[in-house]
A and B are shown apart, each in its own frame.
Chain A
Amino acid sequence: MGTENSEITPKRESLFSKKNRKLLKDPLGDSNPITIQVLGICSALAITVQLQQAVIMSLSVLFVMIGGNVIVSLLRNLIPDRIRIIVQLVIIASLVIIVDEVLKAYQPDISEKLSVFVGLIITNCIIMGRLEAFALANKPGPSVFDAIGNGMGYAWVLLAVSIVREIFGSGAISLPGMGQVKFLPEEWFIASGGFYENNNLMILPPMALVVVGIIIWIQRSRNEALIED
């Protein structure tokens, strides 16, 4: 679960107050759910073969995160303490099922590639962690910011990893609605007499771990306060 826990604010504050900006900004960097808290790694490794999948996955997680945070935050004074984890799980699971059904209807090909990983958003620790650590104790406004911040923190790592993996693994980049765009000339490839070959290792999950590792390395070398003993 998350290490940090934002305090409850009793007084009214403006939309882009320092506190709200912090909620948005922190998860992008110094408390990033993937690179710092190392949550939600499973899906980050599995579905980052193509940019297109990563975009859809990020949007799905963002939707579930915002929906879950807002609903739990609105109900925070009504949810019985003893069953709060069950309630959170039911809310997350319902949102995920809705996402899954919508993808099946409108994005069948991507839904098929994401396969079980859409369903596994239910068990994504980032979402459960934010509901438990933040939404349950805060008003809907800050909860939305917290959800967007953490969702984007998850998303940018996924996008970065998938861009690297797709460029080096497939020699192409897939944009939603445009399909895979190949930008290397066909004659460069060894198959047609050239010198270049796609790195197949990039398509396999271990390389996702290595790429995430490199991001973590860069991040910690820039901010040494993040390095644990």
Chain B
Amino acid sequence: MAFNKNATGYTFLFSIVMVLIVGIALAYTSLSLKPLQKKNEADKQMVDILGAVGITTTRENAKVDFPRFVKERLSLDFEGNVLNSTSGNVDPNDTSDPFNLDVKKDYRSKKPASELSFPLYICEKEGENIYVIPVAGSGLWGPIWGFVALESDMKTIYGAKFDHKTETPGLGAEIKDDFFSDKFKGQKLRDASPYFTILKGGRKIEDMHSVDGITGGTITSVGVGEMMNRTISIYQLYFNSVINSSEQ
């Protein structure tokens, strides 16, 4: 070897060049695959929304099934006023479509609620309106999110579906399993905060406002409770206005 590959200067040079090459390669991969990944995420979101309402569909059929069951998509402001309403097929490029509001990104941005809009999906199943609320929050290692479906009385939970990015397999990651989300069915929200609790042991069977958390997944379970309460408190304003207007 003509050069000393263990010289400090060379070591630095090598590192810099390596980081540049790797950075460019990864940035290129990420950018070129972004459109496909976006589409997959949108399909998954439709599958999950329908899943919260108890309709099983596949990624392939999601585009067709979604507009069939979701009759209206709303976006609300933090005081529960309707900002926008759409129905029919989802246009991934239409930024005014509530479906394209990214609640996970909004949560990460830590902006105050007054600067955000909140999507709400109104589904119709067996002649009843079902309200699907997207929730997003933090687990132990990373983001968790999900959809909570409320019956037409806006109190009773019709179904729920949760997912996560990097929770521990076998512990916190189990929030995405049906055994956990099935427990929410038929439970009721309280009239005031906290609307719903995820308990760590000691739950009474007759308690209609809570479910058991996951053993060994306490922080993830607490995260689920936190994101539900934070989000529902905003949608509650909208629900109150709907109930008031129907009573008059």
Give the complex CA separation of A102 and B40 in angstroms: 12
Interface string of A86-113 (1 = CB under 8 A from B): 1100110010011001101110110010
How distant is A63 from chain B, measured CB to nearest CB, in Å? 13
In Å, the complex CA distance between A79 and B6 comes to 9
Contact B15 A104 (CB under 8 A): no
A224 contacts partner chain B, Cβ-Cβ < 8 Å? no
Contact A116 B37 (CB under 8 A): no
State whether A94 touches B26 (Cβ < 8 A): yes
CB neighbours of B10 from chain A (8 A): 80
**Given A90-B18, A115-B169: A102 in contact with B26 (beta carbons within 8 A):** no
Q: Which residue of A lies closest to B10 (CB)?
A: A80
**B37 and A98 contact, CB distance less than 8 A:** no
The answer to whether A3 has its CB under 8 Å from any CB of chain B is no
**Per DSSP, are chain A's interface residues mostly helix, strand or loop, or mixed?**
helix
How far does the alpha carbon of A159 sit from the alpha carbon of B195 in the complex, in Å?
Answer: 47
Q: A83 to B30, Cβ gap below 8 A?
A: no
Task: Find the A residue at minimum CB distance from B3.
Answer: A78
Shortest beta-carbon distance from A90 to chain B in Å = 6
Contact of B173 among A82, A83, A108, A115 (CB under 8 A): A115
* A101 pairs with B14, CB closer than 8 A: no
Residue from the list A77, A83, A105, A109 in contact with B11, Cβ < 8 A = A83
Q: A97-B26, A116-B169 are in contact. Are A105 and B1 (CB under 8 A)?
A: no
A4 within 8 A of B: no
Question: Are A82 and B37 touching (Cβ within 8 A)?
Answer: no
A137 part of interface (Cβ distance < 8 Å): no
In the bound complex, do residue B22 and residue A79 qualify as a contact, i.e. CB atoms below 8 Å apart? no
| Interface flag for A81 (CB, 8 Å) | yes
B14 in contact with A105 (CB, 8 Å) = no
Chain B residue numbers with a CB within 8 Å of A46 are 169
List the A residue with the shortest CB-CB distance to B30. A101
Contact with A105, one of B22, B33, B166, B169 (Cβ below 8 angstroms)? B33
Minimum C-beta distance from B95 to chain A (A): 23
Kindly count the residue-residue contacts between A and B in the assembled complex, taking CB atoms under 8 Å apart.
61
B36 at the interface (CB under 8 A from A): yes
Nearest Cβ on chain B to A118's Cβ, whole angstroms: 12
In contact, B14 and A80 (Cβ under 8 angstroms):
yes
Contacts of A104 in B (CB 8 A): 33, 37, 40
B11 (CB) vs chain A CBs: closest residue:
A80
Residues in A with CB closer than 8 Å to B22 are 90-91, 94
Give B4 Cβ to nearest chain A Cβ, in Å: 9
The distance from the CB of B17 to the nearest CB of chain A, in whole angstroms, is 10
A-facing residues in B1-41 (Cβ within 8 Å): 1, 5-6, 10-11, 14-15, 18-19, 22, 25-26, 29-30, 33, 36-37, 40
B206 to chain A minimum Cβ distance, whole angstroms, is 31
By a CB distance below 8 angstroms, the chain A residues around B33 are 101-102, 104-105
The 0/1 profile, CB within 8 Å of A marked 1, for residues 46-86 of chain B is: 00000000000001000000000000000000000000000
State the B residues within 8 Å of A (CB): 1, 5-6, 10-11, 14-15, 18-19, 22, 25-26, 29-30, 33, 36-37, 40, 43-44, 59, 166, 169-170, 173
Show 28 residue pairs from A and B whose CB-CB distance is below 8 angstroms, ordered by the A residue.
A46-B169, A77-B1, A79-B5, A80-B6, A80-B14, A82-B6, A82-B11, A90-B18, A90-B19, A94-B25, A94-B26, A97-B26, A97-B29, A98-B25, A98-B29, A101-B29, A101-B33, A101-B37, A102-B29, A104-B33, A104-B37, A105-B36, A108-B43, A108-B44, A108-B59, A109-B59, A116-B169, A205-B170
In the A-B complex, list the 5 residue pairs whose CB atoms are closest, starting with the nearest: A105-B36, A108-B40, A105-B33, A80-B11, A94-B22
